[in-house]
Structures are given as structure tokens and as C-alpha cells.
Structure 1
Amino acid sequence: MLWVKTLHILFVVSWFAGLFYLPRIFVNLAQTTDASTRETLLGMAQRLYRFMTPLGVLALILGLILWLGYGIGQGQIWMHAKLCGVLGLLAFHIACRHHLRVFSNGSSRHSHRYFRWFNEIPVLLLLLILIFVVVKPF
């Protein structure tokens, strides 16, 4: 079980690195007016999304193995709260894909300020999830 838990933590941390950095690229994409810079940033964002998606999938699979296979947190309220946070992360990941497609089409209407706020969502979700897992307030 410790190997599964170790790999789960590794893939969660790696997925979060992408979830933190991709919206920052969106901020720069929303600010740039130079076509060459825009193409470079768009390529970076697309490669990062393709890289971080399998990391998220592996984190989720290993988390399910820990939850279902070893019974960690089953029937406990803190685990249900944590799973709601994980669903929020999935929604954020999908929202990143949407924004990436909109940038690829050249039809983004959001300002860099929007993406600066959008960039804070995974930080808040991480904080909530950590509180639920470590502090277990419920």
C-alpha cells in the first residue's frame, strides 16, 4: 500500500504543477499581441495540457485503488468532502481544456485579469483538500 500511496502523491503533485502553470500561460496569452509569441505560448500550453492529463488520470486511478482497494476513508465525512474537492479539480482541468481550445481558435474574450483569478482556483482547491485529509474537520 505504501508504494501505491507514494505514487499517488507523486502524480498528484505533478498534476498540480500543470494545474498551477497552465493558467499562468493563459494570462500571458491574454496579454500578448505579438503573433510569434502567441504561437509559442499556445504551443507550450498545448504540450503542457497533453503532459498533465495522463498525470491526473494516474493520480485518480491510484486514489481509487487506495479508496476502494484498501478502504481508506470509506464511510467518513472528510473523504466525501475531499472527493468533492477532487471533482472540482476535474472540472477545473476540463475548464482549462475549454480555454485552450478557445485560445487555439483565436476567440478568447477574457482578459488577463480573469485568468489571474482563474489561476487561484487550484490553490484554493488544494488548500481545502489538504484540510480535509490532514485536519479531518468532520
Structure 2
Amino acid sequence: MSDMLSLAYPWIKSIHIMAVISWMAGLFYLPRLFVYHVERCKTGDATDATFQVMEVKLLRAIMGPAMIATWLFGLALVFTPGIVDWGQLWAWTKAAGVLGMTWYHHWLAARRKDFLRGENSLTGRQYRLMNEVPTVLMVLIVLSVVVKF
């Protein structure tokens, strides 16, 4: 099995990077949609329905599959011999960043359900602030992997 992972390493890494890019795009865009949703429409109007469709499609058709692919191909990289040394700090900081990114994804999904029920309690400003979370996590992850601090 490890021989197969080693042979497929460039393909696994390529797909992992593409999945991460897709996932990150959604993690940046969905809270921006929430900002406009909060600031530009009222619960039950036509614009609200439009935002509901956009948000659910982004979450289910792009972000969900991209997150799953990121995890699957990332775990394949973890199990490829010689790629991850768990004795080094960078592997743990990257793992923590990925767990944080996954938490954030689920937090956004919960906020989408709040909109669906007409129970959103956050403001556009709060969503703008939360939109910085994936940036901070991305910096942590990229520096962990590239610099290996």
C-alpha cells in the first residue's frame, strides 16, 4: 500500500492542492454572502430566497465535496512514507489549522441553517470579522508546511 502511495504521490498532492483551493474559495465566499444576506434583504422576501439558494448550493455542491477531498487526499499524504514527520512541530500546527478550518466550515453551515429558519442573529460586521478566520488559519497552515517551523 505504501509503495502505491509513493508512486501516486504527485497526483495525490496535486488533487489535494486543487481541493484545498476550492474549499478555501468557498470558506471566503460564503461569509461574504452572509454579509449581503443580512444587509440587503428581509426574511421571506425574494432576495432572501435567492441568497438561500446560493448559500446552500455553495455549501453542498462546492465546499462539502472540496472539504472531503481535502481530507481524503491529505490523509493519503499523511500515510505516504517520508512525507510527514510527527516528531516535528510543523505537522502538529498544520493538523491544528486543518481542524480549525473544519470547525469553521461547520460553523458556517450552522449559520446557514439559522438563515433558513429565519433566526440569524449576527450582523454584517460580525460576518466580516469571522471572514478573517480562514485567512489566519491559511497562513498558519502554509507556513507550517513550507517553512516547517
Please say if 1:65 is aligned against 2:101. no
Unpaired runs of 5+ in structure 2?
Answer: 1-8
Query: Bigger radius of gyration, 1 or 2?
Result: 2
- The alpha-carbon deviation at position 29 of structure 1 amounts to 1.0
- Map of 2:5 onto structure 1: none
Partner residue of 1:54 out of 65, 71, 84: 65
Letter in 2 for 1:37: T
- Map of 2:23 onto structure 1: 15
**Match of 1:69, SS?**
coil
- Map of 1:2 onto structure 2: 10
- The alpha-carbon deviation at position 74 of structure 1 amounts to 2.5
Question: C-alpha distance in 1, partners of 2:24/2:132?
Answer: 12
- The alpha-carbon deviation at position 71 of structure 1 amounts to 4.0
Partner residue of 2:32 out of 12, 24, 32: 24
- Map of 1:89 onto structure 2: 101
TM-score by length of structure 2 reads: 0.88
Question: C-alpha distance in 1, partners of 2:80/2:24?
Answer: 24
- The alpha-carbon deviation at position 32 of structure 1 amounts to 2.0
- The alpha-carbon deviation at position 135 of structure 1 amounts to 1.2
- Runs (4+) of structure 1 moved beyond 6 Å? none
Partner residue of 1:125 out of 107, 118, 137: 137
Question: C-alpha distance in 2, partners of 1:41/1:61?
Answer: 30
- The alpha-carbon deviation at position 69 of structure 1 amounts to 2.8
Unpaired runs of 5+ in structure 1?
Answer: none
- The alpha-carbon deviation at position 77 of structure 1 amounts to 1.4
- Using the TM superposition, name which of 30-39 and 19-28 deviates more: 30-39
Identity %: 37
Partner residue of 2:52 out of 39, 42, 45: 42
TM-score by length of structure 1 reads: 0.95
